[in-house]
């Protein structure tokens, strides 16, 4: 199995987070409970789940998906982690690529176009200029399978580091839903409820104030119902008491 990336823009040279590295040199988030919820959605698939993470930073989420048996690929706009072999760039370099996702790109496997059941983008959309969103969405739609999900977290506030605002499109959730509809993608609130706060990034996990969009190119079937036990586990995972217990027991 050989995965390749075809692009004329291997680095997002105009991205503030590349010019002033911040999240790209710090982040490496993961949440195993989010992964389990994805696998439940696609439990009838006979082949490995295909996952693409845009703005993968350290590649931790991609590594977890691979360890779980998925075919997973990460794209990162900055070459900071690539050059330093930071985090998972030292362990799965064949699955992590640098790429400006606002320019045309194509992923292939053994020479054939590669498509994905799930595309994720954690705290990425706000880093993209409004005028670059159409090409980003075209790239995602071209790589997204029928009934595939594009799962995102979005920050609606500025993020100024060393005098530079890393967030180039700061808009409320209603604006993003309308903009995505214009670009051929519909929001699925029922799926946000299904994940029930359990995402890789979000208000409960390293991104206070953010919100989630779960996008698709066509109507989706209803997600599985949540049992009382699942709701209780979701409430516990990432909660203040859970984080405190983790620090006391594991020193993490």
- Render pLDDT for 146-198 as a digit per residue (tens, 0 to 9): 999 999 999 999 999 999 999 999 999 999 999 999 999 999 999 999 999 99
Kindly state the average pLDDT of the residues 105-128.
97
Give residue limits of the domains in the chain. Answer: 3-227
Topology (CATH level 3) of domain 3-227 = Rossmann fold (3.40.50)
Q: Say yes or no to pLDDT of 103 above 90.
A: yes
252 falls in which pLDDT band (50, 70, 90)? low
Using CA atoms, how far apart are residues 73 and 65, in angstroms rounded to an integer? 9
Percent of the chain at pLDDT > 90 equals: 94
- Mean pLDDT of the chain, nearest integer: 96
């Amino acid at each position: 199995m050989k995965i390749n990336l075809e692009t004329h823009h291997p680095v997002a040279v105009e991205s503030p987070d590349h010019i002033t590295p911040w999240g790209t040199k710090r982040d490496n988030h993961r949440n195993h409970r989010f992964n389990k919820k994805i696998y439940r959605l696609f439990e009838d698939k006979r082949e490995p789940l295909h996952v693409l993470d845009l703005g993968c930073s350290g590649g931790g989420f991609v590594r977890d998906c691979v360890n779980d048996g998925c075919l997973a690929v990460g794209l990162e706009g900055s070459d900071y982690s690539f050059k330093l072999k930071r985090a998972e760039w030292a362990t799965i370099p064949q699955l992590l690529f640098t790429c400006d996702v606002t320019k045309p790109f194509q992923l292939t496997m053994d020479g054939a176009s590669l498509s994905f059941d799930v595309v994720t983008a954690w705290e990425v959309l706000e880093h993209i200029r409004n005028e670059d969103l159409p090409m980003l969405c075209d790239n995602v739609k071209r790589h997204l399978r029928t009934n595939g999900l594009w799962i995102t977290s979005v920050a609606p506030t500025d993020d100024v580091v060393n005098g530079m605002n890393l967030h180039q499109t700061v808009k409320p959730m209603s604006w993003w839903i309308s903009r995505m509809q214009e670009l051929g993608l519909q929001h699925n609130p029922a799926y946000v409820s299904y994940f029930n706060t359990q995402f890789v990034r979000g208000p409960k996990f390293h991104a206070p104030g953010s919100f989630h969009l779960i996008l698709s190119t066509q109507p989706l079937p209803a997600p599985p119902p949540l049992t009382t036990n699942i709701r209780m586990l979701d409430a516990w995972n990432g909660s203040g008491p859970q984080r405190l217990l983790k620090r006391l027991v594991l020193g993490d």
